[in-house]
Amino acid sequence: MYRYLMIVLGLAAAAMLPADAVAAGKQGDAAPPSCVTLSGQHKAARAGGEGMVIADEGTYLRLDFGRYCDAMMRSSSIVIATDGRENVVCSQGSVVSNRTGRCAVQKMQAIDEAEYRRHARRRN
């Protein structure tokens, strides 16, 4: 009886997970660390007007700004910084800027190489 109850409770808990959590578990994607220090050789590409993707030594990230980022669209020379430290991107407190503007990073997530290439090829 106890074993049956544990199985039913386990299935009920799994059914209540959001679809995104189940998909993430299947893909094996780990959440990125809270901060990543980028090398000077990292590559970045726009991902629409509200985000960007970054490739750096086998690490692939997507940054979302939560709104249109004018600073990123007007210049190919941007700086990624957190608390004044260049080439450091965090899930909170990071800013992408150029001479004329800046956009705060609202969300950072790990992606795979295929997703990075898909966005980098588009060059929105």
User: Residue 10 and residue 51: Cα distance in Å, rounded?
Assistant: 37
> Do residues 71 and 79 touch, judged by C-beta distance below 8 A?
no
**Predicted model pTM:** 0.68
Residue written as token pair 């109850």:
5
> Do residues 88 and 35 touch, judged by C-beta distance below 8 A?
yes
Domain regions of the chain by residue span: 1-30, 31-122
User: Residue 45 and residue 89: Cα distance in Å, rounded?
Assistant: 15
User: pLDDT tens-digit profile of 39-69?
Assistant: 988 998 888 888 999 999 999 999 999 999 8
Q: One-letter amino acid identity for 62? A: R
User: pLDDT tens-digit profile of 8-18?
Assistant: 334 433 444 44
